[in-house]
Amino acid sequence: MRPEAAAHLIIHGRVQGVGYRFYTQEMAGNLSLTGWVRNLPDGDVEAFVEGSRQDIETFIKGLEKGPTMARVESVSVDWPPPQGHATEFSITG
């Protein structure tokens, strides 16, 4: 079954070296979302997630807070069409 919605996210701030990807993966799992998260060379974190629009919006709110040691400055969001390829949420880099 094809997911209802998808979001491509770039998280800006102090988000590397603070457990942000693991936090993201745990939150996605709790919301039954699929996709991936990875560090970018410029210090940001990138994620792609699929699931219900409501669950993705809850996910984004959580990303804006981040884990305790993170300092999120902003989250950029695009809403591409869902692909439906992922079966889990993984850390890719």
Positions marked active-site: 21, 39
Q: What is the enclosing helix (H) or strand (E) of 60? A: helix 53-65
d(CA 92, CA 26): 14
d(CA 23, CA 32): 14
DSSP labels for 19-50?
SHHHHHHHHHHHTT-EEEEEE-TTS-EEEEEE
